[in-house]
Amino acid sequence: MSTVVLRHPTLPPAQEIEVDAAALPHYTGAGWQQVPAEELERRAELKAQADAEAAVTAAGEVSEPVDEPEQSEPAEAPTEKPARSRVKASEKKTEES
């Protein structure tokens, strides 16, 4: 399946869609424009370069243990009262004679 990347002139430039190439006439009739292949190739090159730099950076980093803070009790106890029950108490009262 071959796909194409499209964008619409009334939407932000970064908002693009990828559709099946067979549906291209449908989308172009609605105003969508194909993103130039040169732009897509340049993006792919930049992404590959960034991935390579990230790999080099990750390989150069020494794994050190991370100090995690100990779990402690909250500094202040919650001041909220628990919610009251919505169940009504029995309305019948026993009468004492």
Q: Tell me whether residue 41 is in a domain.
A: yes
- Asked whether residue 76 is domain-assigned, the answer is no
Residue 82 lies in a domain: no
Tell me the C-alpha to C-alpha distance, in Å, between residue 74 and each of 66, 70, 79, 86: 23, 12, 12, 30
pLDDT of residue 58: 85
Tell me, yes or no, whether 9 lies in a domain: yes
Q: What is the mean pLDDT of residues 59-73?
A: 65
Report d(CA 7, CA 32) in Å as an integer.
6
The mean pLDDT value for 65-88 works out to: 65
pTM above 0.75, yes or no: no
Does 79 fall in a domain?
Answer: no
Q: Using CA atoms, how far apart are residues 39 and 35, in angstroms rounded to an integer? A: 7
**Domain membership flag for residue 75:** no
Residue numbers of the domain that contains 56: 3-60
**Residue pLDDT, tens place only, 9-55:** 999 989 999 999 999 999 999 999 999 999 999 999 999 999 999 99
